[in-house]
Chains A and B, each alone.
Chain A
Amino acid sequence: QSALTQPASVSGSPGQSITISCTGTSSDIGSYNLVSWYQQHPGKAPKLMIYEGSKRPSGISNRFSGSKSGNTASLTISGLQAEDEADYYCCSYAGSSTYVVFGGGTKLTVL
Chain B
Amino acid sequence: EVQLVESGGGLVQPGRSLRLSCAASGFTFDDYAMHWVRQAPGKGLEWVSGISWNSGTIYYADSVKGRFTISRDNAKNSLYLQMNSLRAEDTALYYCAKDTIHSSSWSFDYWGQGALVTVSS
Contact = CB atoms under 8 A, between A and B. Distances in A.
Given A47-B111, A98-B62, A104 B44 contact: yes
Interface in B77-121: 95, 100, 105-114
Contacts, number: 59
Contacts of A101: 47
Given A34-B105, A91-B106, A2 B44 contact: yes
A89 B110 CA distance: 15
Contact of B106 (A38, A47, A100, A104): A100
B44 A51 contact: no
Interface residues of A, number: 23
15 contacts: A34-B105, A38-B108, A45-B95, A45-B113, A47-B111, A48-B107, A51-B107, A89-B44, A89-B45, A91-B47, A99-B59, A100-B47, A100-B50, A102-B44, A104-B44
Interface of B: 37, 44-47, 50, 59, 61-62, 95, 100, 105-114
